[in-house]
Chain A
């Protein structure tokens, strides 16, 4: 059984599809990732990154298993906020802060979400496709 089938059997309510080599998950990411970490043995979250597709923001979780030496990618589509996975993988904290900084996605459950790379009083989220340089850089 492939991984997406295992997951679909466990989480029957959420839509889990495998496309283009990645596993697309509709929502409920935190529980799915907890299950993947504890039962399927993917214990390293190598990277968590986001891409802006104008209508939605796509989050990618790139996982690695040090036991089986395999890689796995989980994707979701997000509009404005989603669950934080810092309780599952501690390395996600910096990643989520950076995504909040660059894309404006709010992570509920992350108790210290702050701007990481831009200055603390910056307005606007730079990596969005509709980010305009002149208008949004306001220093009062």
Chain B
């Protein structure tokens, strides 16, 4: 029986970017599968070598545009560690607050688009309605909806205002999440399409270096936030599940939204009782020259672990910047997961991995 080679992408309504999946089909079953990346390669790492640290900082948001704060934080953290700058406590809490709001926005977008790929059209609009509230708050505070340029070396640029908006979000979101659970998690069609789909075993996850919610759904508790001293006074749980199939990855991400809300309310309480107003340390960011050395800074982005490996040679431009992102390895494990499934399962599995292509191609 002849096998048919069919090409999904690179222009496709639901590959979250430009990814080419070349599948070999036997009827509706997938026999073999390859991925092809590189359509969105912008040369982020080479660009860093010709720009000063301050000139490179606004470009860093664009490595993963749905988690702009996380990339920004990774770069700022690396620079601060190499230059031995102390970040004031108030700036640390503001940074945590913004990052967790960004995590909620990213997970909401993932939720909407994942269900749109499965065929249900309403959760997309509902998720974007909540995400709009968060983006409006970001726009009021930083002036931008998606690429913020709000963190700077040594702190943040502006003090936090409009805290009523955050309280409004924290009041509205839990009820809406309950609604989503009723329409999605109790939906028998959704359960049938995601249960036991695309199972990542523990050994496969460790071997392929999967991080983030995909790894935590297997049961391994690896969350960089617990090791970071930004979160040492904040109380939150690391959500795990027993087996990493598409349904459990969905449950882990919705659990993380709830944990993020807890973190945000704790940060907000601390910021209200805080009396200092120092939001950044005095560092000359225009002619910043870092001493020689290397540093690897870690962030727990919504899609996995993001590393920024910064190598400096004493001049005012970085010598080498390397971005390690979580989606890069999720794309690598995709052909393994798709073997033996049928064509409708491609989107159910690929969507649950939460891959975003700018992060993969940089």
Contact = CB atoms under 8 A, between A and B. Distances in A.
**A–B proximity contact (CB within 8 A):** yes
B38 A91 contact: no
Given A47-B324, A117-B361, A62 B332 contact: no
SS class of chain B's interface: helix, strand, loop or mixed?
A: mixed
Given A49-B309, A66-B206, A117-B361, A91 B296 contact: no
Interface string A89-132: 11101100000001000000000000111110000001100000
A49 B331 CA distance: 18
Nearest to A114: B36
A89 B328 CA distance: 15
Interface string A44-55: 111101011000
Given A66-B220, A66-B222, A94 B332 contact: yes
A46 B305 contact: yes
Interface residues of A, number: 29
Nearest to A133: B46
A84 interface: no
B126 interface: no
Interface residues of B, number: 31
A45 B307 CA distance: 13
B329 interface: yes
Contact of A46 (B38, B227, B324, B331): B324
Interface in A22-81: 22, 43-47, 49, 51-52, 60, 62, 64, 66, 69, 73
Given A47-B324, A126-B46, A89 B38 contact: no
A51 B311 contact: yes
Contacts of B305: 46
Contacts of B296: 62, 73
A20 interface: yes
A51 B329 CA distance: 21
B320 A51 contact: yes
Contacts of A90: 207-208, 332
A127 B37 contact: no
16 contacts: A20-B294, A43-B206, A46-B211, A60-B309, A62-B296, A62-B309, A66-B206, A89-B209, A90-B332, A91-B208, A94-B331, A115-B38, A116-B38, A117-B361, A117-B362, A126-B46
Given A44-B209, A51-B320, A66-B206, 13 more contacts: A44-B206, A46-B211, A46-B307, A46-B324, A47-B309, A47-B322, A62-B307, A69-B222, A89-B209, A94-B328, A117-B41, A117-B362, A127-B46
